[in-house]
């Protein structure tokens, strides 16, 4: 089994191309191969598969074996992979995801290689029950939540997968390990949730750190950056476009007023290729 290690701003993946469908043991393989001590090491296992609706289909299995509905960093990696390997020669392509449907992707190509990827992430879901949360209101903004003996306030957004955005004084140094697991599995969130801790620096720059459902702390989260921008607009904190500063780098996020879609622009990179020998 050949694989390619890739990352989007440090959010890293084991990418597999050539399978016709998702293997029945994909969960077990993700747990094994994503292990950073006994495997390849990654936040998730990504399969690039055929699609009847788009140019390609992406399926992503988190490092704990659960499947993610969508992943903004992974979709940029998939786009770069298929173009740079010559599986498609267009700079406008489509990629199918199980959570957000078919997503249009635009490629910036320099010297024959993809340098930047802009993804139409679709319209954010703001209805509390559809995100899903247990809160029957739309939107869910500045909602109080208790974790342990502490209280926070969150805004909920789905970008094909669920997010809970919490504003803190210093996101860069926030204690993710203490609060991420408690909030991820809070009773408000029936399918668990990705948790973003954000600090708005000005109306066009946001610092954000993330605890990802099924993966824990990661260096970046594309859908989380999108959810953070949407949340910041809903709370009146930023413009409809802003730079979201993640631990692994920056993403430019736009929430277009005309079509209500969120657009994410950022890089993807190859790390190495290899062969798995069972």
CATH of the domain at 184: 3.10.310.10
Catalytic residue among 34, 71, 77, 164: 71
86 among annotated binding-site residues: no
Verify cis geometry, omega within 30 degrees of 0, for the bond prior to 129: no
User: Within a domain: residue 134?
Assistant: no
Q: Are residues 238 and 271 in the same domain?
A: no
Catalytic residue among 34, 77, 221, 226: 221
Q: What's the CA gap between 1 and 90, in Å, rounded?
A: 28
Domain count, the chain: 2
Q: What's the CA gap between 79 and 98, in Å, rounded?
A: 16
Please indicate whether residue 71 is annotated as part of the active site: yes
As a whole-number percent, the residues of the chain with pLDDT over 70 amount to 100
Question: If you average pLDDT over residues 8-32, what whole number do you get?
Answer: 97
Q: What pLDDT sits at residue 149?
A: 81
Q: What pLDDT sits at residue 277?
A: 86
Question: If you average pLDDT over residues 186-210, what whole number do you get?
Answer: 98
Residue 263 DSSP code: E
Please indicate whether residue 77 is annotated as part of the active site: no
User: Within a domain: residue 110?
Assistant: yes
213 among annotated binding-site residues: yes
Q: What pLDDT sits at residue 115?
A: 98
Q: Are residues 112 and 177 in the same domain?
A: no
Q: What is the largest CA-CA distance in the chain?
A: 54
Q: What pLDDT sits at residue 148?
A: 83
User: Within a domain: residue 129?
Assistant: no
Is it the case that residue 150 has pLDDT exceeding 80? yes
Q: Are residues 23 and 110 in the same domain?
A: yes
Contacts of 211 (CB under 8 A, 6+ apart): 176, 179, 180, 181, 183, 184, 194, 195, 197, 217
Question: If you average pLDDT over residues 176-199, what whole number do you get?
Answer: 97
222 among annotated binding-site residues: yes
User: Within a domain: residue 127?
Assistant: no
Q: Are residues 97 and 144 in the same domain?
A: no
Among candidate residues 2, 9, 61, the one with its CA nearest the CA of residue 34: 61
- How far out from the chain centre does Cα 131 lie? 15
Q: What pLDDT sits at residue 93?
A: 98
35 among annotated binding-site residues: no
For residue 239, give its domain range: 140-260
């Amino acid at each position: 089994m050949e694989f390619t290690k890739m990352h989007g701003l440090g959010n890293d993946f084991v990418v597999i191309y050539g399978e016709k469908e998702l293997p029945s043991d994909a969960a077990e393989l993700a747990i094994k191969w994503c292990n950073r001590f006994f495997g390849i090491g990654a936040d998730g296992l990504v399969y690039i598969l055929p699609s009847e609706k788009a140019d390609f289909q992406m399926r992503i299995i988190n490092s704990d074996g659960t499947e993610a509905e969508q992943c903004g960093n992974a979709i940029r990696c998939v786009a770069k992979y298929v173009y740079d390997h010559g599986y498609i020669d267009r700079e406008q392509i489509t990629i199918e995801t199980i959570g957000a449907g078919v997503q249009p992707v635009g490629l910036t190509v320099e010297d024959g290689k993809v340098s930047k990827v802009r993804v139409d992430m679709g319209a954010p879901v703001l209805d509390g029950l559809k995100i899903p949360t247990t809160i029957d209101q739309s939107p869910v903004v500045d909602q109080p939540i208790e974790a342990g003996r502490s209280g926070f306030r969150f805004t909920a957004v789905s970008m094909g997968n669920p997010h809970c955005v919490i504003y803190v004084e210093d996101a860069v140094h926030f204690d993710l390990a203490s609060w991420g697991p408690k909030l991820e599995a809070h009773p408000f969130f029936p399918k668990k949730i990705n948790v973003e801790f954000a600090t708005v620096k000005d109306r066009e720059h946001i610092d954000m750190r993330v605890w990802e459902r099924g993966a824990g702390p990661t260096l970046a989260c594309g859908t989380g950056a999108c959810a953070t921008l949407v949340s910041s607009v809903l709370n009146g904190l930023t413009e409809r476009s802003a730079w979201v500063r993640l631990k692994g780098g920056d993403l430019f996020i736009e929430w277009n007023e005309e079509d209500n879609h969120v657009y994410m622009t950022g890089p993807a990179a190859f790390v190495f290729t290899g062969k798995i020998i069972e």
